[in-house]
Structure 1
Amino acid sequence: MDTAVAQRIARRFITLPLEKRRLYLQKMLEENVSPANLPIAPVSAEFDTLSLSFAQERQWFLWQLDPESAAYHMPTALRLRGPLDIAALEQSFTALVARHESLRTTFQIHGEQVVQQVHAAAPVRLQADTLEPLPDETQLRRLIEAETRQLFDLQQGPLLRTRLLRLAADDHVLIVTLHHIVADGWSMQVMVEELVNGYAAFSQGRALELPALPIQYADYAIWQRHWMEAGERERQLEYWTARLGGQQPVLELPTDFPRPAVMSYRGARLQLAIDAVLAGDLKHMAQREGVSLFMILLASFQALLHRYSGQNDIRVGVPTANRNRVETERLIGFFVNTQVLDSDVQSEDAFGALLQQVKQTALGAQAHQELPFEQLVEALQPERNLSHSPLFQVMFNHRTQGPAGEGPVGALKVEGLSWDSHTAQFDLTLETVEHGEGLSAALIYATDLFGAETIARMAGHWQNLLRAIVADPAQRIGELPLLHAAERQALLDDSQRTAVPAPEAGFVHQLFERQAARTPDAPALVIDGERWSYGQLNARANQLAGKLQSLGVTSDVLVGIAVERSAHMLVGLLAILKAGGAYLPLDPAFPQDRLAYMIEDSGIELLLTQRSLLNQFSVPCGSEPARDGGGSVNGDVGCADAIASRLAPRWYWTRRVTGSTAIAARRRRRAWMRNTWPTRSTPPAPLASPRA
């Protein structure tokens, strides 16, 4: 098709109203003309407002949700060694910002929608900050990290921030940070290359000559929305819902720490060294099996996740550059899309079978790569949970790395700097990079979930798995060796040990007290997003135990406890044991007649419960609560707040009034218990053993 004709058709398609656009798309498809093969027309000037792309919409939502997070910053830092022409560098930045509208875009609320606002180009000024005293390499990287974590305001901008550090007259560091809403990883490489080319030209007094950009990012955003709305969304969504619809499993990797209620995005990075021999063997295997290196590495990662989690449905997020059009190749903007690649991993299957499954999945995903991840989430409607990302919790990112503008520019040597950003967008991410020297990798992990030792061990297991599949891809996945020789020997040594250390002597509450003395600040309980340390639980239990003793709880007293599942249930149980009594657990979910029978049959004299549960127990209750564990209780029958009012939910005591026959029966039961367990100062609690 003639280029001018294609441009005319594309422009007409994009500018039509929605209903006419749907009909136009249907007619084009009937004539075997797909908009995917048409150019993206530069039409943004014809629109009064500029809509966000779907990816930008999600970034806006995430920023609104947590504007204090730096998880979606896109930083780079360049070491500039040699004489630096700051004026030429400023000219290069000015040309870069003038060339790419995305670098001078902010985001505004317009009625009920968010729109892009492109600002006029303006000169970029750089001022070298001299560092005194001169930092060492570690301090320099910390300074770079602190700079890149400075927050952006998406409404005020600018969303491109620069800082130039002067270490010496011939030694500088250039730090550039963008927000993800206007750039992606591909964009960062384009930016560095154009900066270097611009500097080379301006430092020599030449004009910068770059081919004109056929479109701007706003044109892409308009094209994406209008194409998807015309019917392409439904076509691609049908494929993805067929693959991923139904249950949305959460990958449950064994973690070192409980999952927090809300992701903090705190993370760390472990760089891995893949030896050249292994990297070469993997590439040869890819050629032999008719797959790409990406497919082998993804399959190996999914096999590792299966072995760690025991789950079969393994879903991994995979970013795709989404730049399959010539118009977007040299454009700075947020194009990257995320796809969810799932595999049914079975331990008894050969790794080669999994590899072929991954190949077919990847090819299918490539044919349906334009559907924005945000649209998939909206369609599948996974259970929203701030503790983990939707649809997948781990990511695999494989890329091929070129020189990216590094090298000499006249007398100036340019080299990239790396550092740990201490952020993690997901539970776990495996990054692999193909380069001239072979293959490198890194694991980025959420420090809320994993410790450094666990991730280092996992990295070793993954590399052992790679060596095993290279040696024999026909091995069963469940039999692929993960352990190093030293780990295997340690396990064998442990299995041959017959001596078992004797458990520490003491009752449960005594063991708990000793642990609280040793590690008072260590977490003892996590429930409903709330953390209690050993010291906190022990102090609360001591406070309540004192109140119990003032109410007459001794070794002869059986105490009923009916509390909803919470930290306060544990406080109550410990307090009863500390006071010397025994407890009878009463489940508030039981029918009232069953609860009444248990209370009557056990002969308890005191019932520890909550105000909200009082109506489930057919026992009287007075109205004079004691305060702060030191007030009085109202006669024979009464309810009392057994601890300070700041401890919610409040505790209420019910003291039962019983006849002499029942009292005599209880005394006979206690005498029998004392004769049955003569060596114990405290009889064991019904339904709960006081020993660990």
Structure 2
Amino acid sequence: MALRGTDDGARLVAWLRSSHPEAELIAAVRGHLRQRLPDYMVPSAFVVVPAFAQLPNGKLDRARLPEPGDGLDHVAPANALEAQLTAIWQEVLGHARISTTANFFELGGNSLSATKVAARIRRDLRVKLEIRSLFSHPTIASLAKRIADTQPIDYAPVTPLPAQEHYALSPAQTRLWVQDRLNAAQAGGPLPTSLLFEGVLDVDALVRSFRALSERHEILRTRFVLSGNQPVQQVLPPGEAAFPVEVIDLQEAEDRDAQAMSITARERLAPMDLGTGPLFRVKLLRLSEVRHVCICTMHHIVSDGWSTEVLLDDLSTIYDALVQRRDNPLPALSIQYKDYAGWLNRLLAGPDGERMKEYWLTRLGGGLRALELPGDVEQPAAPSWKTWRFELPAAETTALESLGKRHGATLFIALLSAIKALFYRRSGQEDIVVGTPVAGRELPELESQVGPYLNVLALRDRVAGDDRFDTLLTRVRDTTLEAFSHPLYPLDRLLDDLRIKRVAGRNPLFDIGLTLQNQRQGAVDRYAGQVRIAELPDHDLLGADTEAATDFWFLAEPHAEGLAIRVVYHAGRFSEALVQGLANELTSVIGEVLANPGVRIRNLTLGQHVLQAEARQPTVELSAF
């Protein structure tokens, strides 16, 4: 099952009931699963038990399942540095016991958890470790040797600002405030999340839980006003902040599923006033005594996809305590988003900000060409976007991930390389830039925060027809890991630095985007009191505005059957048939490079190795309600 850890949410753990020898059984089961599932669907840990503990009702007692180790012969830390690194890995990966010879990525690590490890190393060891070092030194023993040769640095944590009437905006908030003033409806507005509550729900306790969230996270009771001619944020005291929770009873409605969907759609479009608020609202739809749908809507200026997961974790914890007549167990937060905004503004104004600026000017200077892929639709006056969905089968997804690993890369980097190869073949352009979102939470103290931390990076690579695909993969790996080491420089500030003119309906830096959703972003059921809380599908976990104004944005989500890919495309320029053709060509590219990683990019046929990818039209499952 998915076990929630302390980092990016969940990892897969298997508990086996057996009397067979543990080592032999785990090896056999792991080998069996690896032959049939992608690597990311194979549990990162196995625990063998003689019997499963049960609750009085006969169900599995999850709380009494033993903690997993790393499944390897244990090698203890040889020195103090290895002991410190072991503690960091245990915290991030959620393992109770880790060998110093265990591979970080075999333990369930990914780019996001690598960022968390690097952040903790910076805080605890005062060492600046680039993410790529974890790829080249993936064990505690090898990483300790790498760190021992590194000079210490100063660490500047986020600290609380003194109380004042108003506070400066972060660069992301400034961008979203300007968009709101310009009425840019296609981006940056409400961010809704739909939850299904199954079980006997204590509505009063739920309402009090949401109000406790508003008290805990100041950003949820913040409004945005002008001070002179500058936008600022004002934090309202808990008693002054309006926080409506509307309960709508649909039990007697014959078409309650359709009504629930209609209400959800209206919530997505309902405007929010940044100057008056509230910028966090909740609607609870009662479908039956044991089934409720809760629609939580926040403006992008106060939240992002990671924040949604933080709020759901907090909500389930608080609700569980309240229904058991206990106090809220969550400790008060030491900092708030306004404190981070001040910290980031100071960072960008100092030498670190200048170094980040220099890096991105070097990477993206020299002029950028728009993607010259002819559209096949007459462009309307107002831009619009639609979605096409398709599946990459499990076998090919597993093989693509394995190809990446052989070159020190992740599934994300391998997929990104295939997309760049595709658009080179489609357009003939050698300069390919792809955008991707990053969490922007570079410090450990930001992981439990709510706010618009997300940033978007532009990943630029040269692609030539004579390039072998494996050479391109290595180049894309280096570009990506370097960019991930410079994640905080704001996109809008970079546009000003590059003196790039903004054009309505187009992204000034890139026309293609890619998001690979990881386990933090996957829907993991939560349990509180007698209620199961499940996230309903089709809400964007990283922030819907990341896809806006690009020609194509690929959103890939690993699951048991392979890789589910959504393509959000500019429907004012491209037809569904053209996008379906691109999807088929991408599967063809993947099939060809898996068959021959050394294939020259110009020799990719875009059609002779089309995989059996299942196309799926956008749908909403009524049964989800």
TM-score under structure 2 length normalisation = 0.68
* Equivalent residue runs for 1:58-97 within 5 Å: 58-66=175-183, 68-69=185-186, 72-97=189-214
* Pair 1:470 & 2:590 matched: no
Change (3 A) 1:107 1:277: same
* Pair 1:411 & 2:530 matched: yes
Change (3 A) 1:54 1:91: same
Shift of 1:258: 3.6
Task: Give the root-mean-square deviation of aligned CA atoms.
Answer: 2.8
Structure 2 distance, partners of 1:44, 1:341, is: 38
- Number of the residue aligned with 1:130: 249
- Residue type of the alignment partner of 1:458: L
- Number of the residue aligned with 1:444: 568
- Residue type of the alignment partner of 2:341: A
Q: Confirm or deny: 8 A CA contact 2:526 2:532 kept in the other structure.
A: yes
Structure 2 distance, partners of 1:370, 1:311, is: 29
Shift of 1:163: 0.8
* Pair 1:217 & 2:217 matched: no
* Equivalent residue runs for 1:374-385 within 5 Å: 374-385=492-503
Structure 2 distance, partners of 1:68, 1:465, is: 36
Deviations 1:614-651 (A, max 9, x none): xxxxxxxxxxxxxxxxxxxxxxxxxxxxxxxxxxxxxx
SS at match of 1:349: coil
- Number of the residue aligned with 2:237: 120
* Pair 1:206 & 2:326 matched: yes
Structure 1 distance, partners of 2:212, 2:350, is: 37
Deviations 1:282-341 (A, max 9, x none): 222222121111111111111122222221111111111111211100100011111111
SS at match of 1:116: strand
Shift of 1:173: 0.7
Question: Which residue of 353, 362, 368 corresponds with 1:242?
Answer: 362
Structure 2 distance, partners of 1:484, 1:411, is: 53
Structure 1 distance, partners of 2:165, 2:406, is: 55
* Equivalent residue runs for 1:149-188 within 5 Å: 149-188=269-308
- Residue type of the alignment partner of 1:108: V
Deviations 1:101-145 (A, max 9, x none): 111111011012110111111484533212353336566434312
Shift of 1:433: 2.5
Q: Confirm or deny: 8 A CA contact 1:88 1:202 kept in the other structure.
A: yes
Shift of 1:482: 2.1
Change (3 A) 1:172 1:371: same
Shift of 1:38: 2.0
* Pair 1:337 & 2:337 matched: no
* Equivalent residue runs for 1:249-260 within 5 Å: 249-260=369-380
Shift of 1:208: 2.1
Structure 2 distance, partners of 1:455, 1:359, is: 26
Structure 2 distance, partners of 1:206, 1:278, is: 49
Aligned length: 457
Structure 1 distance, partners of 2:215, 2:254, is: 35
* Pair 1:141 & 2:141 matched: no
- Residue type of the alignment partner of 1:188: T
Structure 2 distance, partners of 1:433, 1:486, is: 20
Question: Which residue of 565, 580, 583 corresponds with 1:459?
Answer: 583
Shift of 1:435: 5.1
Change (3 A) 1:379 1:70: closer
Question: Which residue of 297, 312, 315 corresponds with 2:415?
Answer: 297
- Number of the residue aligned with 1:271: 389
Deviations 1:172-229 (A, max 9, x none): 1100111111111111111111112222221221222124322100000000111111
Change (3 A) 1:435 1:205: farther
Structure 2 distance, partners of 1:139, 1:252, is: 43
Q: Confirm or deny: 8 A CA contact 2:283 2:295 kept in the other structure.
A: yes
Question: Which residue of 426, 441, 446 corresponds with 1:328?
Answer: 446
Structure 2 distance, partners of 1:298, 1:315, is: 10
- Number of the residue aligned with 1:642: none
SS at match of 2:567: strand
Structure 2 distance, partners of 1:129, 1:142, is: 13
Structure 2 distance, partners of 1:206, 1:167, is: 28
Deviations 1:453-488 (A, max 9, x none): 22222222212222222222111112223226799x
Change (3 A) 1:345 1:70: closer
Q: Confirm or deny: 8 A CA contact 2:249 2:287 kept in the other structure.
A: yes
SS at match of 1:38: coil
Structure 1 distance, partners of 2:515, 2:440, is: 14
Unaligned runs of 5+ residues in structure 1 are: 10-30, 488-692
Change (3 A) 1:329 1:109: same
Shift of 1:237: 1.2
- Number of the residue aligned with 1:190: 310
* Equivalent residue runs for 1:621-640 within 5 Å: none
- Number of the residue aligned with 2:218: 101
Change (3 A) 1:161 1:484: farther
- Number of the residue aligned with 1:626: none
TM-score under structure 1 length normalisation = 0.62
- Number of the residue aligned with 1:43: 161
Structure 1 distance, partners of 2:312, 2:162, is: 26
Structure 2 distance, partners of 1:295, 1:392, is: 17
Change (3 A) 1:181 1:436: farther
Deviations 1:53-81 (A, max 9, x none): 01111111111111544653321101112
Structure 2 distance, partners of 1:204, 1:93, is: 16
Question: Which residue of 552, 560, 563 corresponds with 1:428?
Answer: 552
Q: Confirm or deny: 8 A CA contact 1:251 1:393 kept in the other structure.
A: yes
Change (3 A) 1:375 1:360: same
SS at match of 1:327: helix
Q: Confirm or deny: 8 A CA contact 1:274 1:439 kept in the other structure.
A: yes
Moved more, 59-68 or 74-83: 59-68
Deviations 1:577-613 (A, max 9, x none): xxxxxxxxxxxxxxxxxxxxxxxxxxxxxxxxxxxxx
Structure 2 distance, partners of 1:457, 1:140, is: 35
Q: Confirm or deny: 8 A CA contact 1:299 1:354 kept in the other structure.
A: yes
Shift of 1:244: 1.0
Structure 2 distance, partners of 1:469, 1:330, is: 40
Q: Confirm or deny: 8 A CA contact 2:188 2:300 kept in the other structure.
A: no
SS at match of 2:327: coil
Q: Confirm or deny: 8 A CA contact 2:223 2:275 kept in the other structure.
A: yes
Q: Confirm or deny: 8 A CA contact 1:196 1:405 kept in the other structure.
A: no
Change (3 A) 1:411 1:215: same
* Pair 1:352 & 2:470 matched: yes
Change (3 A) 1:300 1:486: closer
Moved more, 416-425 or 162-171: 416-425
Q: Confirm or deny: 8 A CA contact 1:183 1:333 kept in the other structure.
A: yes
SS at match of 2:292: strand
SS at match of 1:274: strand
Q: Confirm or deny: 8 A CA contact 2:188 2:299 kept in the other structure.
A: no
Deviations 1:489-525 (A, max 9, x none): xxxxxxxxxxxxxxxxxxxxxxxxxxxxxxxxxxxxx
* Equivalent residue runs for 1:485-496 within 5 Å: none
Shift of 1:431: 1.0
Deviations 1:392-437 (A, max 9, x none): 1221112312465524434322222224899950221111224576
Structure 1 distance, partners of 2:564, 2:331, is: 33
Change (3 A) 1:206 1:363: same
Q: Aligned residues: percent identity?
A: 34
SS at match of 1:172: strand
- Number of the residue aligned with 2:228: 111
Shift of 1:161: 1.6
Change (3 A) 1:207 1:247: same
